């Protein structure tokens, strides 16, 4: 990357030790290269690994709930497994005893979908387009829309926090919360704003 691997040596500060005070901890002194490796490089690598593990664990949980909706999985699934997946999905989407879908209707829609020409699509986007053409699979359409927006919600949160740091540091704390929220929306959705 064209960066010199030169670490400037900082002046070491030596503190006088008093004979009546016993030091409970020894101070560790690193060379500049070791200091960079321990305090910067390894810290960044640990943070990246931790973030990736958290993200993959989250997507494994999503796969347990939504994984059967992928066309290649849906084609080879047995009836009893399909029914249990539909029940699990309804349970995951239930809020205060209200669910977005009906398990029995979703099961029947997916069974009917298997009899149609489902070999035409290979991913959930094609599946949703296929379902919208027929306009008679409401529960399946809801599930495919939820499935396709999961990854977008993860990305938008990261984008929102980075924009918050940018706007907040630039404009400081001289505005109300309402005005800050407005500026954030403008900053995040600037492509839509430019089109308008």
For the chain, the structural domain boundaries read 57-150
Query: Three-class SS of residue 98?
Result: strand
- The parts of the chain modelled with pLDDT lower than 50 are 156
Return the pLDDT at 174. Answer: 62
Handedness of CA 83, 84, 89, 90 (dihedral sign): positive
Return the pLDDT at 42. Answer: 86
Return the pLDDT at 167. Answer: 59
Instruction: Give the angle 59-65-66 at the CA atoms, nearest 5°.
Output: 80
Return the pLDDT at 195. Answer: 84
Contacts of 87 (CB under 8 A, 6+ apart): 103
Return the pLDDT at 156. Answer: 46
The span from the CA of 97 to the CA of 76, in Å, is 31
Residue 22 in tokens: 């016993």
The predicted-structure confidence for 19-70, as pLDDT tens digits, reads as follows: 665 555 555 667 777 877 887 788 888 888 888 888 888 888 888 888 888 8
């Amino acid at each position: 990357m064209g960066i010199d691997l030169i670490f400037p040596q900082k002046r070491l500060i030596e503190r006088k030790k008093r004979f009546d005070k016993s030091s409970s901890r020894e101070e560790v002194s690193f060379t500049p290269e070791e200091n960079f490796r321990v305090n910067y490089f390894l810290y960044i690598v640990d943070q990246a690994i931790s973030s990736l593990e958290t993200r993959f664990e989250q997507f494994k949980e999503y796969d347990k709930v939504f994984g059967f909706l992928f066309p290649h999985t849906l084609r080879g699934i047995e009836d009893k497994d399909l029914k249990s997946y539909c029940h699990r999905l309804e349970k995951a989407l239930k809020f205060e005893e209200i669910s977005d879908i009906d398990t029995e209707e979703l099961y029947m829609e997916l069974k009917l979908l298997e009899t149609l020409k489902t070999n035409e699509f290979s991913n959930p986007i094609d599946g949703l387009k296929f379902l919208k053409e027929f306009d008679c699979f409401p529960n399946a359409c809801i599930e495919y829309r939820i499935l396709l927006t999961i990854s977008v919600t993860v990305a938008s949160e990261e984008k929102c926090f980075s924009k918050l740091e940018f706007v907040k540091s630039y404009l400081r704390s001289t505005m109300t919360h309402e005005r800050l929220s407005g500026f954030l929306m403008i900053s995040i959705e600037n492509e839509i704003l430019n089109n308008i």
